Structure 1
C-alpha cells in the first residue's frame, strides 16, 4: 500500500476533533478581535497618535514572530498537542484581563507582548495535527479550522460592541476571560493527549527513530533552502501586512473619521469576518481541486481592488459591500497558504514549518501597523489603505514566483519517503 493510501486508510472517520479544535481556534481569534474593537476607545482615553496605536499591534506581532519558531520546535518535540492548545488559550486570554488595571501605554505594550507569545503556540500545534490526521482533505479541514478563527473574529466585535453600550471596556476585558478558560478546560480534558501521528509513532520522527539535535538543525536548515516553502511563507508575510493593518485601522477609521458608535464599528467588523467565514471552505475546497496557486493569485488580486474601493466609498452602502468583499477574498487565501506550507514540509518538521510560516508572517504583520500609523499621521488615514493594497500586490507577485509543478518537500536526514506527506495536491497549477 502506498503512503497516500495508507494515510487515507488511517484517517479518522469522525470530524469531532476538527470541530473542537476549530472552536478553540475561534477563541484564539476572539481575543485579538476584541482588542481591535477596543483600540479606538483605548487610543482616545490614553491620547495616542496613529503611530502609537499601530505600535501596540506591532509589539504584539513581533512577540509572536520571535516565539513562533521556538514554539514550532516545542510542538515537534512534545507529543500532546491538546496540552499545548489548552495552554495557548489560557495564555492568550489572561493578559487581556491584566489590561483592566492598565493606565499606561507601556504597560499596555507589556500585556500585548504576552498575548503575542501565547497566541502563536496554537497554530504550530493545531494545523499540522489536523493536516496529517486528514491527509486527503487538508484544504477542507484547514478551511474549517480557519472558519473557526473567522467565527471568533466575527462574533467578538458584534458581542463586545453590544456590551460596550452598557459596560466600560475595562469591565468587558475581565468578563472576556471566562469563555477562554472554559474552552481550554474542554480541550485539556477531551484532547489533551491528541497527537498528529498514529499510536506507536514517535512524537519527533514519524518513522519511530529518535533523532539528535544535530540532525534536527540540519533538517531545519533544509527548510530554509526550500524555495517553494520560503516564497509561500514570505508571501504570507505580505498578506499578513494587509490583514493586520486592516484589522488595526479599519475600526479606528470608522470611529475617528466616520464617527460610528462601538456597536456600528463592531457590526462592520462582523461583516468583514462573516464574509471571511464563508470564503474559507470555498477557497480550501477549490484549491484541493484546481490547485493552490490559482486560488491564491486570483483572490489576492481581487483583494487589492476591493481595498481601494473601500477607501473611496466613504459613508455609503458601497462601503459595507466593499468591506464584505475584502473579507471574502482576503480570507479565502488563508487555509490555502497553510495547506501549501504543510505539504512542503517533512512530517517530523511540520510544527517547525508552520511556526516558520507564522513567524515570518508575524514580522510582516508587525511592520504594517506602525508604518500605516506613520503614514496616517504624516498624510492621512486614507493613504494608509493604499499602502495596504500595495502589500497584497507584492504578496501576489511572490506567489507567481513559486515554481510550477510539485513543491519539493525538504527530506529529513535519515528518513524514508514514508516520512513525508503525500504530495498529491501540492501541484499549484
Structure 2
C-alpha cells in the first residue's frame, strides 16, 4: 500500500502535463505580447514626443536590461527555494508598468514604466521555464518548445498592436493591455497552486541515494567555455533580432515610402515565422541534435540576411519570413542545450540564456540606435544583417554526445 502511494506521488513528475504546458505557454504569450508593446510604440512615441533613435534605444535598453539581468538572480534564488507565487506577483509589476505607459507624459516616465514591465518579465521567465520543465515528463525538448513558442508568438503580435491599436488610438491605447496583464495574473494563480502541489509531492517522495556528479577539471573548463560561447551566440542573435524588430520598420518606411501600418506587416511576417520556427526547432533538435540546430539556425540564415538590404518590397516579405523561421528555430534549443550542459540548475541556466544573454542584446538596442543617428539607417542595417555570420563559432561547441560523456 505504501509503495503504491509513493508511486502515485511520483507519477506527476513522469507524466507530461499538457494542460499545464498549454497554460504556461499561453501566459508566456500574454507576457511577451505586453513586452512587445514597448517597441510597438516606438513609431508613435517618436512622432508624439519627438524622440531620437538614441532615446528609443535607451527605452529598449531599460526594458531588456531590467528583464534580463535580474533573471539569473531570480533563477539562482528559486533553484534553492522554489517560489510558486512569485509568478502572479511579478505580473502585478507588469500591470502597473502598462498603466504608467498609457499615461506617461514624458520620456523618463516612459523609461520608469518599462522598468516595471521588465521586473515582471524577469520574475516570470525563470519560474515559467521551471514550470515547463516540471510539466514536461520525458518530453523536455517538446515542452520547452511549447513554452518558448508562446513567448515568440507574443512578440509577433507587436506589429499588429501598432497597426490595429496604437495607430488609431495613440499612446493611450496601451491601457487595453492592463486587461491582458490581469488575465495573466489570474492564470498564474492557478499555475502557482499546481506548482505548490508538485513541491509538496516531491518533498514526500523517498530520498534517493546521492550519486556523485563530480566532473574532472578538464570537463568543468569545457562546460564554462561552452556556456560562455552559447551566451555570446545568443547575444549576437539578439542584436540581429533587435535590429529587425526595433529599427527595420524605420528603414523600410524610408526605403519603400511606406506608412507605419504598412511597415508593421513586414515585422509581423518576421516574428510570426520566428514563432513557427521556435516550435519546429525542438522536435528537429531531438532528431538531428541540439548543436546541429544551433549551428544551422545561424549559418543558414546568414546568406539570406546579407541579401535583405538589396531586395525589393515583395521579395523582402519572403526573405524576412524565411530568415525569421531559420534563425529562431534554435530559440528553445539553446535553453535545452544549456540545461543539459548544467543539469540541476534549471532556473539559473534559463536566466542566463534567456535573461543575461538578452540583456547583452539590450545593449545592442542602444548601440544600434546610436549608430542609426550617427551613420544613418542604411549603414546600420548593413551591420545588422552581417551578425548571423558569427554563427561560425558554433563549430567550437561540444557535440551532444560529448556532453553526455562528460556527465556519465
Do both proteins adopt the same fold according to a TM-score greater than 0.5, normalized to the shorter chain? yes
Show the counterpart of 1:303: 301
Q: Is the 8 A contact 1:58 1:367 kept in 2?
A: yes
Quick one: distance in 2 between partners of 1:252 and 1:89?
31
Decide which moves more: 284-293 or 399-408. 399-408
The C-alpha deviation readout for 1:157-193, integer Å capped at 9, x for no partner, is 32442123532222x1111110121121122035434
* Superposed counterparts of 1:346-425, under 5 Å: 346-347=343-344, 349-394=345-390, 396-406=391-401, 408=403
Counterpart CA distance in 1 for 2:131 and 2:12 is 16
CA separation of 1:165/1:149 partners in 2, compared to 1, >3 Å: closer, same or farther?
same
How far apart, CA to CA, are the structure 1 residues paired with 2:260 and 2:230? 36
More helix by share: 2
- The answer to whether the Cα contact below 8 Å between 1:272 and 1:326 also exists between their aligned partners in 2 is yes
Deviations 1:244-294 (A, max 9, x none): 232111233344554433432333222122211221222110101110111
* CA distance in 2 between partners of 1:246 and 1:33 (Å): 13
1:42 aligns with 2:41: no
Out of 365-374 and 284-293, give the one that drifted further.
365-374
Residue 318 in structure 1 maps to residue 318 in structure 2: no
Instruction: Say whether residues 1:337 and 2:340 are aligned partners.
Output: no
2:94 aligned residue: 92
Q: Which residue of 2 aligns with 1:192?
A: 193
Per the alignment, in what secondary structure is the counterpart of residue 342 of structure 2?
coil
- In structure 2, do the counterparts of structure 1 residues 190 and 223 end up closer, same or farther at CA, with 3 Å as the change threshold? farther
Contact 1:307 1:386 in 2 (8 A): no
**Superposition map of 1:258-277 within 5 A:** 258-277=256-275
1:207–1:260 distance in 2 versus 1, CA, 3 Å:
farther
State the distance in 1 between where 2:356 and 2:89 align: 23
**Corresponding residue of 1:4:** none
- Aligned in 2, Cα 1:13/1:264: closer, same or farther, shift over 3 Å? same
Q: Which runs of 5+ in 2 are unaligned?
A: 1-9, 211-219
Tell me the SS of whatever aligns to 2:62: helix
Label 1:86 to 1:175 Cα distance change in 2 as closer, same or farther (>3 A): same
Q: Give the aligned CA root-mean-square deviation in angstroms.
A: 3.1
TM-score by length of 2: 0.85
- For 1:26-425, what aligned pairs fall within 5 Å after superposition? 26-81=29-84, 83-170=85-172, 172-194=173-195, 199-202=200-203, 226-314=224-312, 316-347=313-344, 349-394=345-390, 396-406=391-401, 408=403
**Aligned residues between the structures:** 389
Contact 1:8 1:134 in 2 (8 A): no
Ranges in structure 1 where 5+ consecutive residues have no aligned partner? 1-6, 210-221, 409-422
Deviation at 1:95, TM superposition (A): 0.9
* Corresponding residue number in structure 2 for 1:219: none
Q: Does the 8 Å contact 2:234/2:358 carry over to 1? A: no
Distance 1:244 1:351 in 2: 24
Q: Is the 8 A contact 2:253 2:259 kept in 1?
A: yes
How far apart, in 2, do the equivalents of 1:308 and 1:280 lie? 22
- In 1, Cα distance between the equivalents of 2:224 and 2:131? 22
Deviation of the 1:80 alpha carbon: 4.2
> After the TM superposition, which of the residue ranges 283-292 and 30-39 deviates more from structure 2?
30-39
Distance 2:302 2:119 in 1: 30
1:95 and 1:136, CA in 2 relative to 1: closer, same or farther beyond 3 A? same
Distance 1:318 1:133 in 2: 41
- Superposition deviation, residue 69 in structure 1: 1.9
What secondary structure is seen at the aligned counterpart in 2 of 1:166? helix
Structure 1 residue matching 2:75: 3-state secondary structure: helix
C-alpha separation between the residues in 2 aligned to 1:405 and 1:143?
Answer: 18
Match of residue 215 from structure 2: none
